[in-house]
Structure 1
């Protein structure tokens, strides 16, 4: 089932390359902060489609319209994500303060234990936040449903904690692999061009600089948006495993 989710999400994310470019253009201005909420809101729409759809269905990518609604959804998503991260952040700060008041082996031991506990709590918090967003989407965008811990835990229990964590880790691995492979392939192509250009008397630095620029363009306008949709779709489909 997990592999079916990945297969569906990988195919789904490539359905409309124009949408990827649009998201890339929006991401280009994310430093202004407001566009970042639009991207987050669009990914929430992807989740919403997924939780109301089925694996290997024919769901289209969400329309990129009603920017105000997308922006509002994006703000809600960011609030949910920040709220869930508060606990692991506070835990880490507490252990850091305690370790700071100790010395030698005791300080290192407390810090190591603190990092391990924070990591475990952080993974659970991330999973809860993702399922919380799915639960909110499934309940017609009801904001409080993102924090209905009892219902969200029941959802995860129904799916299986192992399956959820395994799917989440798999998403991280797939995302990193795709990003690294694409970047490496483009880098190798322009490295070859640079070497060939040098043999012909051209400036290899100019060719390599152009390669870096092309790499950035592809990452910004295609790979980045593709992976964000892939992750959102996968999480939404994971939620449907308990319905």
Structure 2
């Protein structure tokens, strides 16, 4: 079973570090362009503003690696091209660098936790789809019923044997599908004769098993047509 889950889980993979690297370069380049456009067209001469914005966006969308690449792209470039700017001082550079590191680490950590949660949810969904597919495509006729006798799930094979054509099976009861059903508390097979709505009489072999959820009282019912 572990090998099966390993194959299923491969459908949900974590983001590629190369894509995060490319994102960081892209955000950093966009920040440099925005800084140049703001300076020359609008008179907004703030060398570190768009750099910090790019780092924050990179941390949120890509993680710590994206934010760090964005910082490495923008801050040194700002120092080179704005070396004579009054705001570009050693103290300001140190403060901006420290703030960028905090943004990268904190935002990257939050993004990592969010990505892990999304990955776990995606893998859980893939496993659910896998189990649903196995349940519906197996040739063995199966039903899942609760302690009150309500049918919670029924696969295609069981629908075919019981002659169920209505796709809405949300209100089916075991007593209606198999009238006169004997006690199936044991694990041994039990013979049962069924007369379907179309007049067909079937000789069924029924066996039941308890699902490993003791508090819920769920049971599986296996049908075999021995007519």
Instruction: Identify whether the pair has TM-score above 0.5, normalized to the shorter chain.
Output: no
Higher relative contact order (CA 8 A, sep 6+): 1
TM-score (structure 2 length as normaliser): 0.29
Structure showing the higher strand proportion among its residues: 2
TM-score (structure 1 length as normaliser): 0.27
